[in-house]
Structure 1
Amino acid sequence: MPEEEANLTISYVDLGVTDQAVLKVATGLLAKHNNLQVNILNKENIDGQVVIVDVDNPDGRAFYNQFNARSGRGLLLLSNNALSEHRYPVLCKPVRVQTLRDVIYDLYNDLKIVTKTPAHPTNQTQAVSTSTASVTKNVENNTIVIVAPPVQDAKALENNLFFVLLKAQTEQQCMQVFCPPHSPLFLDPKKGIVATSVSRENLRKMTHGEAVVTSSTKLSETDVEILAKGQLIIPFTSVLWSAAVYGSQGQLIPTHKSDVPVRLKAWPNLSRLDFQPIHMTLTTIMTSQSLSLQDIAQRFQIDWDTVAGFYNACFATGLLLINPVQPAPTMPSVSKEVATKSSLFSKIAKRLKLS
C-alpha cells in the first residue's frame, strides 16, 4: 500500500560531486517507491528539514559542531570513518543509494508527528498472556503468581541476537552476524560500533527476535573497517540494549539467577536508548532498593519477559550491582569538623580558666 504523499526538504553541507549524485538518485527512489516528494535545496540554503553533512570537511565539521539538536530538524553525517555517534545517524563513505534512501526515509518518519505503538504491551493482562514465565492466578488476593522459566545453557541461546552481541562484547571480538533474510551486522565492540545496511524497521525485527541468528563469524578489526564502507554506523550499546530489552525472550544470562538481590547503581541514559514507560518504572524500583528479579516481577506484577530483558540490558551496559552489600551509614564530614572545633574551644576555655 503506497505511503501518504508528503514533501521533504533536504540541505547539504560540503558534499562532494559523487555524493550529490547519489543523493539525487536516492530522492528519486523515495518518490517512486515511497511516494515521498523530496526537494534538494540550493547549496547556499541550509534550512532544510534534513541536513546531510560531510564531517570530514572543515565546513561540514563546523556545521555539525554548531547544529542545534533541538531545532526539530534531522541531521545525517557522512564520514570516511566509522564514527560512534549516539545523536545522529552516520553513513560511512562511499555512500550507497539504497542505504541513503532508507536513512532519509527514517529521518522523515522521525519528523512526522505520529502515535507510536509500544513495542511491549503495557496492559498487564496482555503482557502475562505472552510471557515465557509460568503464570497462575491467586484467587484470594487477585494477583498473578509469576515463576521465572529455567535458565537455558549458552548453547541453546546461540540463535538469539542479544546473547551473540553479549559474547562479542565479553570477548571484545569483531564478528559478522547473519539474521536472514536481512543484511548482516558487522560488529566491532572495541570501537563500539555496528555497521549494517539494514533499514531501521528491519533492525527492529532483528533486535526484537523476529529474525533469528543463523550464524556468526569472527572477523578482524581490519575486516570490519573494510566491510563498514557504505554502511550505516550504529552505536554498539544501542543495538545491545534493544536486543536485550526486547529480544531476550524471558531468558536470563547463563549462570545468573532470578532469586539474587540486585540494584541499579545508576540510571540508564534513556534519552539515547529505546525504552517504554515500564522501563522507567523498573529503573525507579531498582535504584531505590535491592530486590531479586522474582520479587520485582511478583510484588509489582510486571511481566517476566520485561523484567528479564531489562535486567540483561542493565547488566550488559554495566549498570547493575548483584547481591549488593548495603553500605554502613557514615556521619557527614561537616559534623566531624564541628566536633573537632568544639573540642578545641573546650581546651582553650580550660586553659584560660586555669590562667
Structure 2
Amino acid sequence: MNNSIPKVKTAYVLLVNVDDRQTAMLRMAFKMYNSVNYQLIQPEDNLKPELVLVDGDTADGEEVWQQTKKKYPEAVVVFFGRNAPSFTAPYLMKPIRFDTLFQHLRNLQQGNGVWLADKAAAHKETASEETVTAERLEQHNASEHTQQAVSVVRFHTKGTLLGMVQKLAQQSEDTAILFENKPVLIVFPSVEKVLLAVDNDALQQLCMQTDAEWQTKTVPASAPTAQLHDKAKLTLQSCIWQLSIWTARGRLIDPITPDTIIKLKAWPNMTRLAFLPEAMRLSAFLVRTPVALNTLYKLLPVSLEDVLNYIAATYSIGSLIIEQPLTHSAAQQEKEMVLTRKAPQKVSKPDGGAPTSEYNESDDDKPKGLLARLMGRLRGN
C-alpha cells in the first residue's frame, strides 16, 4: 500500500425535507469537491451523519428541524432556508452559492455559523468569528444581488455551411459545396475527410451566412478519387468541430435550451481539434455529471461564449447526449432566455482572437493542377 497517498476525509450528510432540485445541485457540488468527500446518505443507511441539512422553507420547516435535532443529537443540524429561523440554530442561507458553499459547511462542522434569535445578543458577538450575525447575513444577502443577467441567443444549423457539411457527411457520395458557383469544400464521407477549396478566413466568413443558397455537385466518376483523398488533409470531425465554433459565435445551438440536460459521451480528442478555451475543464465536468446549462453556468467560472461554443462543437460531432425537460415546447424554445450568476471573470483568449483549425493549407496544398481542373468542372466551366 502506498502510504504517501493522502486520505480524503469522508463526511456523511443527511438531507431532510429538501426537494429534488436542491438535492441534485448539492450532490453535483459534492462530486466536484475533492478536499473532503461529502457523501449524501439516507436514514435507512444506518450511518451517523455529521451534517444534517433541514429545509426550513416549508410550512412545517421549523418543526421538522426541532424533531430532527432530537433524532440526531450528535450531528450538526443546520436550518437551510431563505429566511433565518425564529430560534437559535446553525444556519445556511439559500440560494446555494457554490463558490462559498464548502467554506460555510466547514464553518458549520466546526461549530460556527450559528444564527442567534436574539439580535441584540447577536450584535454583541460581532467580534467573534464563531457567530454569523444579522449584519453579516444581510451583507451576504446583498451580495446575492450582484449577479449579472445574460441573454442567450439560439441558432439553427439549417441553411448554414455547418448544416450542409453535416448533411453530406451522412451520404455516401463525394460531394462539393459551392457558394455563388464557386467551390468551397469537398466532403468525402467514405474516408471521413474534407478538402478545402478556400482559405480559413473565407471559410469563417461563409460560416456567418444563414439561409444561403448553397449549391452541391457530385464529384465526377471520372475524377481520380484516390489522389483527391490524399490531398484532403482535414478530418470530417475536425472540420465540423471548427465550423460549429465559427457558426455558434457565442450562441446556443438548436435544439438545446438552458433547461436541457447535457452530458458528454466521451472526451473529444483535443489534440486533433481546433483550440477552444476551457474545453478541458468543461469536458472533465460534463463527462461525469449530467447538468443543465442554467446550472453549469452558475457552477463554473467560465465565459458564457466559451460554454456555448463548446456545446455547439460537441453536439455537432455527436459527442453530447441531451435530455429535454418534460415542459419543453416550441414556444419555450423561441422565447428570450436569460441566465444569471455572479459576474464571471474575464477569460483570456490566445492572441488572434478566433480559434484556428487544426490544418492550415500551405501554398503547396492550394487548389492547382488536377484539383484546379476538377474545381473548374464543378463550376461548370
Could you say which TM-score interval applies, normalised by the shorter chain? Answer: 0.3 to 0.5
Rg larger for: 2
> Normalising by structure 1, what TM-score?
0.42
- Name which structure has the greater RCO, CA cutoff 8 Å, separation 6+: 1
Report which of the two has the higher share of helix.
Answer: 1
